[in-house]
Structure 1
Amino acid sequence: MSAWNDFLAQVREAESELGNPIEPWYRGHSDETWHLVPSLPREPNWEIKEKELFFEFNKTASRLFDKRSNDWETLFDMQHYWIPTRLLDWTTVMGVAIAFILHSDYADAQDSALFVLDPIALNRLSGRVDVISVPEDKSFEYKTIYWEKRPVQIERPLAIRPSQISDRLRAQKGTFTVFGTENSSFETAASACFRKIILPSAAKQEAREFLKWANLDEYTIYPDIVGMARHIKRKILS
């Protein structure tokens, strides 16, 4: 069995161990040593900086595009433009997660990892029965829940689905998890809800062929000028 086929067999086994969720979510890391921690909580005093980043982005971005109708849309914009947030990006399409790995500049330097998540099982840990749709769910407002900690402090990560999505999120079949507190990370509080599968460097050539057949290049999953430029660069120079 090839390294790629062995990897796919491990993905199937992981989904089976999770109870074959109706809609598993996937996330790719180009370096298999990275943990499921968003960019913002890696910063010291990150909860204070969260507010400063949000207000500064909201103030500055108003000069560049239309004001968003709610705080979640602003947060999605911040994530889109690489401002640190408490969000982690996921996708409902495994091929997109593989593309995130292989489109990294460091993809061939080391083994990588694919994470498989049962989002409903994750939310049940916090007493919720389904993935939270935002901003439709008016009981789940960003600042109220995560800044004011009302009605309770959310400790574990939660799975949310953006309903008003950009072209990029639509192309990527994008979803998110929202980080709660330091002491309730994925590894410490939700380990039963996800599995990690190593994508070895030996499997990456076949993985690239898979992406080619599936038409998952930078331009199809980043349908904007940035994605187009990355696609042209990789196509001609790689």
Structure 2
Amino acid sequence: MSAWNDFLANVREAELELGSPLETWYRGHSDPSWHLIPSLPREQNWEEKEKALFFEFTQTASRLFDKRANDWETLFDMQHYWIPTRLLDWTTVLGVAIAFILHSDYSDENDSALFVLDPIALNRLSRRENVISVPEEKEFEYKKLYWENRPVQIEKPLAIRPTQISERLRAQNGTFTIFGTQDATFEAAATSCFRKIILPKEAKAEAREFLKWSNLNEYTIYPDIVGMARHIKHKILTQGGQQ
């Protein structure tokens, strides 16, 4: 078998090891040494910075966007525009996760990594039986839970699904995990809920063919002006204008 087919077999094996979950989420890292740590908790005193970032973004963005209906929508906007948050992006579509890897690494000179997650098993670690839909679950309020620790302090990562979503989230079949107060890494806190699979560099050429056949390019995954510009740049400068 080819390296690409071996990789797909490893993905299937990982899902079987997780018990063939009712729902599976995927996340790609172009560098396999990167850990599952959101951008914000990498900062010193990140809890205080979280509030400052949120309020500054809310004030400044009001000049550009319509007022958001709730704090979750604001948080998703922040993640979308690369403001550090306690969120990690995931997708329910394997091909999208592969695209995240390859759209960040055009050289194909190094291995990358794919994470396979059982989101329901993750939430059961915190005694929740399902993925949390936000903002539909009214008691699950961002500021109350994560800033005020009411009614309880949430320690472990949780899987959440946005129900009022942007075009980009819709195109990506996007979901999130949200980091709690626990200092342990995601890997340490949720070892039983995920698997990490190496995407070898030898598989990447065939993986790119898969994305081409699936019409998963920068513009279809990022359906906005930024995604369009990235797609045109890559198509003309990297692919030599090939369709």
TM range (shorter): over 0.9
Name the counterpart of 1:44: 44
How much does 1:118 deviate?
A: 0.3
Say if 1:186 and 1:223 are closer, same or farther in 2 by CA, change over 3 A.
Answer: same
Residue-by-residue CA offset, 1:29-55 (whole Å, 9 max, x unaligned): 000000000000011111110000000
Percent of paired sites with the same residue: 81
1:182 offset after TM fit, Å? 3.9
- Three-state SS of the structure 1 residue aligned to 2:116 is strand
Tell me the matched-pair count. Answer: 238
Question: Are the counterparts in 1 of residues 29 and 114 from structure 2 also a CA contact under 8 Å?
Answer: yes
1:22 Cα shift?
A: 1.3
Q: Which residue of 1 aligns with 2:25?
A: 25
Is the contact made by 1:157 and 1:184 (CA closer than 8 Å) also made in structure 2?
no
Match of 2:11 in 1: 11
| Superposed displacement of residue 82, structure 1 | 0.3
2:64 and 2:51 mapped to 1: Cα distance?
20
Q: Please state how far the C-alpha of 1:105 moved relative to its aligned partner.
A: 4.1
Post-superposition offset of 1:210? 0.4
Q: Which SS does the other structure have where 2:161 is aligned?
A: strand
TM-score by length of 2: 0.96
Matches within 5 A, 1:55-204: 55-105=55-105, 108-204=108-204
Amino acid at match of 1:83: I
Question: CA separation in 2, counterparts of 1:211 and 1:70?
Answer: 35
Select between 105-114 and 29-38 the one with higher mean Cα deviation. 105-114
- Measure, in 1, the Cα distance between the counterparts of 2:81 and 2:138: 25
Deviation at residue 185 of structure 1 after TM alignment:
3.0
Q: Give how far 1:195 is off.
A: 0.3
Offset, 1:109: 4.1
Q: CA RMSD in A?
A: 1.0
Farther-moved stretch of structure 1 (100-109 vs 68-77): 100-109
Counterparts of 1:100 and 1:114 in 2: how far apart (Å)? 10
Q: Residue type of the partner of 2:163?
A: S
Separation in 1, partners of 2:109, 2:70: 40
In structure 2, list runs of 5 or more residues that go unmatched: 239-243
Secondary structure of 2:159 counterpart: strand
Contact 1:155 1:184 in 2 (8 A): no
User: Aligned letter for 2:236?
Assistant: I
Separation of aligned partners in 2, 1:212 and 1:106: 14
Cα 1:44/1:106, change in 2 over 3 Å: farther
Q: Which whole-Å deviations, capped at 9, do the CAs of 1:108-165 have from their partners, x for residues lacking one? A: 2421000000000000110101000000111100000000001111111000000000
Distance 1:107 1:198, change over 3 A: farther
Tell me how far apart the structure 2 counterparts of residues 106 and 37 of structure 1 sit (CA, whole Å): 24
Confirm or deny: 8 A CA contact 1:158 1:177 kept in the other structure: yes
